[in-house]
Amino acid sequence: MSAPAASARYAARALAALSVDPIGLKGMVVQARVGPARTAFEAVLPRLPGPLRRIPPSVSDTQLFGGLNLAATLAENRPVRDPGLQQSAATIIVPMAERITPGLAARLSRILDDDSGHIMILLDEGADEDEAPPGALLDRLAFHVDLNDVPARGARFLLPAPADIADARGRLPQVAYHDDAAGKMTAIAARFGIDSLRAPLLALRTARALAALDHCDHVEEEHLREAAEMVFPSRARAFPAPDDPQTTDDPGTDGRTDDDESADPTTIPDEILVDAVAARLPHDLLEQNLRRERSRNRSGGNGAGARKIGNRRGRPLPSRPGKPDGRNRIDPVATLRVAAPWQRLRRRNDTAGRSVIIDPSDIRIRRFEERSDRLLIFAVDASGSSAAARLAEAKGAVELLLARAYAKRDQVALIAFRGQEANLLLPPTRSLVQGKRRLAALPGGGGTPLAAGLQAAASLMQVSRRQGMHPMLALLTDARANIGLDGTPGRAAAWSEARTLAGQIHALGLASVVVDISVRPGHQAEQLATDLGGDYLALPRADARRISRAVDTALDG
Amino acid sequence: MTQPFPFSAIVGQEQMKLALILTAIDPGLGGVLVFGDRGTGKSTAVRALAALLPPITAVSDCPVNSESRGDCPDWAEITSDNLVKRPTPVVDLPLGVTEDRVSGALDIERALTRGEKAFEPGLLAAANRGYLYIDEVNLLEDHIVDLLLDVAQSGVNAVEREGLSIRHPARFVLIGSGNPEEGELRPQLLDRFGLSVDIATPDSIDDRIEVIRRRDAFETDTKAFMTRWRRADGRIRKKIMTARDTLHQTEAPDDILRDCAALSLALGTDGLRGELTLMRAARAYAAFKAAARIDRSHLRNIAAMALSHRLRRDPLDEAGSTTRVNRVVKDLLG
């Protein structure tokens, strides 16, 4: 039999450390799609302390925190409470961890913060880099292991014997470490751009658990190194800055380098330790972090139509078995339908002589699909530089999209900017008549207050997002900004203001597309699209039909 | 219940600690909002505050911690005049909480077993005269937020459901914490918080190391650590008590009121609530510093936490709102 793969060795070591100090280390995130490696990993989980519990990402609060058991309460005529997962220490396995909502993450974090000895194993099956468990949990759990590249042959997880773990647990309180260990760990974390102070703390506790496992009463250098290797790489936000002062011109690392110099010599991290962590960093670290920042904005708990299945409104979905927990609604017809076939059988054993007998397991819960409206915001440049003819095309495109909006449940809003300011010509609407009337009244000519247009769009997007809509921006302009936010002319200032605002819209995670409508497409509009993080379409000669189709495709993708 | 980390042992985060102390001195300030990244010690500080606060005197059986028997609500059927000292209530409002649990509801146990219609008080009753803490306040569900806003405003919790008609006092200091990355707060809720602080991980390596050392010492030997910090906690508690007594004698001179108005005007804060909070916070701070009257140095220190969350957003100003407030304060007050 072949030796276990490197990541499998790390995973096994992490599991061993977790069994020794569950309160301090909290758990681990395992990135693994279904496969032999994951199967082998899950097979060793029962060896962790505490009973094994598996919870789906849709777990209810009653299951987590306990609550009244309605069925038993009614049957026994006294309140019967179900204990929640929180009550007793357990190993909690969460499959499909990438689907945990921020709300559930906050609840799970609360359970972890109680320090009652829960171990949490998140099985992250994210297919894209965009999919990841919520940061609140990633920050609290000590370890992060990627088993995706482990071949079937290497998927072996060797844990220490139970007696050894029990011995290590007993030894743990006595394990001491050298005074500067805390400083070392903190300094390394800072070198890798890790802001959360939980990281060095977790690393320190890991080192201690490892020392206990190795029958040492003192944390040695190698334990610190191993702990740093296990805890830091997945959290790193930057490659360590080289110590050479000449190479500190990278703006992102300036602050840290200053700190390193001002700190006393004992806190300068050991180069060996830094190198050990650096060796385990993923090579596309910075890209990954960038993606993570973006996806966080897109799918965070901002009420932006992220929640698609609710239980209040929208199109009905098939009912599902469930318990009434005060927030969902019972579907009486479906419940009766499930109970119907059993009535004769149940009546035979029923002493109370009831006519309809419904068991708790019959109860069906009503579900609805909650669709959030898409709001398409057109910000149209009506200045003199966008020739009047182009404006007509833009108007035509808006009308076409509006006509389709009713069928697609889209809403459309129109902002026009010309002269000194931007105006919301058409507040979010689905009404075709109203839209056409307002559009016809849109005059052209004057300067290009691009920044004002972007500002108006950004504020409308934020308001509509708070109302649960899903806003998208289609900016039709030639990007030749020449009027600033305060209405004063000046090309350079106006352009830099517009770029700043575009950057902010990007930072808010709002989808956008720039349609360059000037006769000779220039690089300015393209630059603006980059700042917005959106697509760029140069459509110098497009008619209304083509613009509307292009916008539709760009935003749908 | 796990032992909370001692308040005085929290490294740095002076603004957050000060804001919490000010609400302890003047509960009328209207709560604190703490916004910051993960792992910056938000929850730690709030839970530490609970241990720091002086105890209150309350009727022993009263579900809403009334001060005297006359204040107890009728439905509680209090029979004894027994007064007890109990720690200031700090009630946690968990995220998944139901409306029943917050406002109180029909007592199911009594309804089932004895067939009586009785009221089971909820979290709002338990938080009366104390603190209500909401972690991850930006993830709280909207209908609970609406309920809280209404009660925080009126100081009375009214329950009209299941044939019950109950009211009881619910005056509490609302403390919210959250991570801005996970969603923003509705402006209506923002405005209800008197003070707001943004916190970040300490910049200096030495501070960070100190945080790690203390946390680790706390976790490895809690008892010894608590003994070491008990004196410091006691000193803060004593200062809070003294400040509470002198709060009403602390003068607010006319030129300070003028400064408050000028600050709010220059920053363009909406409504007069900002000015009022600014003045009250300055008074509490002056009392905490054992000063007889408010002066400009007090205003300077608390302006940011009283005003920063009331500003309208300026899209071109990349500096945070705290920086903007401080800039205006510097311009106006020197």
Judge whether B221 lies within some domain: no
B60 closest CA partner among B81, B44, B29: B81
Residue A212 resides in a domain: yes
Does any domain span residue B208?
A: no
Q: Nearest C-alpha of chain B: how many angstroms from A17?
A: 17
> When comparing pLDDT for A47 and A546, which is higher?
A47
**A365 and A378 co-located in one domain:** no
Interface of A with B in 323-362 (CB under 8 A): 326-327
Query: Which residues in B lie closer than 8 A to residue A228 (C-beta atoms)?
Result: none
Q: Looking at residue B284, which CATH number applies to its domain? A: 1.10.8.80
Q: Identify the closest residue of chain B to A266 by CA–CA distance.
A: B206
Boundary-marking domain end, from B142, B174, B199: B199
Domain count, chain A: 3
CATH of the domain at A423: 3.40.50.410
Asked if residue B222 is part of any domain, the answer here is no
Instruction: Look up the domain containing B289 and give its range.
Output: 248-333
Q: Which residue has the tokens 């007090």?
A: B298
If you average pLDDT over each of A106-110, A224-228, A548-552, B104-108, which comes out highest? Answer: A224-228
In a domain, B10, yes or no: no
CA distance A205 to B76: 49
Domain count, chain B: 2
What CATH code is carried by the domain that includes residue A135? 3.40.50.300
Calculate mean pLDDT across residues B199-203. 82
In a domain, residue B209? The reply is no
The reply to whether B87 and B162 lie within a common domain is yes
Taking residue B185's Cβ as centre, other Cβ atoms within 10 Å add up to 21
A26 with A135, same domain? yes
Same domain, A169 and A38: yes
3-state secondary structure string, chain B? Answer: CCCCCCHHHCCCCHHHHHHHHHHHHCHHHCCEEEEECCCCCHHHHHHHHHHHCCCEEEECCCCCCCCCHHHCCHHHCCCCCCEEEECCCEEECCCCCCHHHHHCEECHHHHHHCCCCCEECCHHHHCCCEEEEEECHHHCCHHHHHHHHHHHHHCEEEEEECCEEEEEECCEEEEEEECHHHCCCCHHHHHHCCEEEEECCCCCHHHHHHHHHHHHHHHHCHHHHHHHHHHHHHHHHHHHHHHHHHHHHCECCHHHHHHHHHHHHHHCCCCCHHHHHHHHHHHHHHHHCCCCECCHHHHHHHHHHHHHHHCCCCCCCCCCHHHHHHHHHHHHHC
B194 and B253 both lie in a single domain? no
Same domain, B320 and B184: no
Q: Is residue B243 part of a domain?
A: no
In the structure, what pLDDT confidence band is assigned to residue A556 with cuts at 50, 70 and 90?
low
Asked whether residue A289 is assigned to any structural domain, the reply reads no
Do A187 and A59 share a structural domain?
A: yes
Q: Are B67 and B189 in a shared domain? A: yes
Residues B155, B276 share a domain: no
What Cα–Cα distance (Å) separates residue A291 from each residue in A138, A238, A287, A380, B327? 16, 14, 6, 30, 34
> Is residue A354 domain-shared with residue A470, that is, in the same domain?
no
Average pLDDT over residues A334-353: 79
Residues A453 and A520 in one domain: yes
Distance from CA of B96 to the nearest CA of A (A): 6
Mean pLDDT, range B271-288, rounded to an integer: 87
Find the domain containing A324 and state its range.
Answer: 314-369
Report the catalytic residues of B: 273
A197 touches chain B (CB under 8 A): yes
Among residues of chain B, what percentage have pLDDT more than 70?
92
- DSSP letter (8 states) at residue A218: B
Quick check: B38 and A198 CB within 8 A?
A: yes
Looking at the structure, tell me whether residues A143 and A99 fall in a common domain.
yes
Tell me, yes or no, whether A250 and A157 share the same domain.
yes
Beta-strand (E) ranges in A363-459? 364-369, 374-381, 410-418, 421-429
Of B135, B168, B199, at which residue does a domain stop?
A: B199
Instruction: Kindly state whether residue B242 falls inside one of the protein's structural domains.
Output: no
Per residue in B150-185, pLDDT tens?
888 788 888 887 677 888 888 888 888 887 766 667
For residue range A482-537, what is the model confidence (pLDDT) as tens digits? 887 777 788 888 888 888 888 888 887 778 888 877 777 778 888 888 888 888 87
**Domain final residue pick, A324, A351, A369:** A369
CATH of the domain at B171: 3.40.50.300
Rounded to whole angstroms, the Cα distance separating A106 from A137 reads: 8
What average pLDDT score do residues A472-477 get?
Answer: 84
Same domain, A353 and A385: no
Q: Is the dihedral of CA A447, A452, A456, A462 positive or negative?
A: positive
Q: Is residue A235 part of a domain?
A: yes
Whether residues A364 and A274 share a domain: the answer is no
B46 shares its domain with B171: yes
**Is any Cβ of chain A less than 8 angstroms from the Cβ of B112?**
yes
- Residue B206 to residue A485, Cβ atoms within 8 A: no
Identify whether the C-beta of residue B201 lies closer than 8 Å to the C-beta of residue B211.
Answer: no
Mean of pLDDT values over A421-450:
76
User: Residues 482 to 521 of A: which have CB under 8 A from any B CB?
Assistant: 485, 497, 500-501, 504
Q: Are residues A452 and A506 in the same domain?
A: yes
Asked if A320 and A378 touch (Cβ cutoff 8 Å), the reply is no
Q: Which neighbouring-strand residues pair with B169?
A: B156
Q: Which of helix, strand or coil describes residue A347?
A: helix
Lowest-pLDDT choice from A241-250, A283-292, B50-59, B111-120: A241-250
- My answer on whether A400 and A274 are in the same domain is no
Looking at residue A259, its pLDDT comes to 41
How many angstroms separate the CA of residue B135 from the nearest CA in chain A? 8
Least confidently predicted of A200-214, A455-469, B308-322: B308-322
Asked if the Cβ–Cβ distance from B316 to A497 is below 8 Å, we say yes
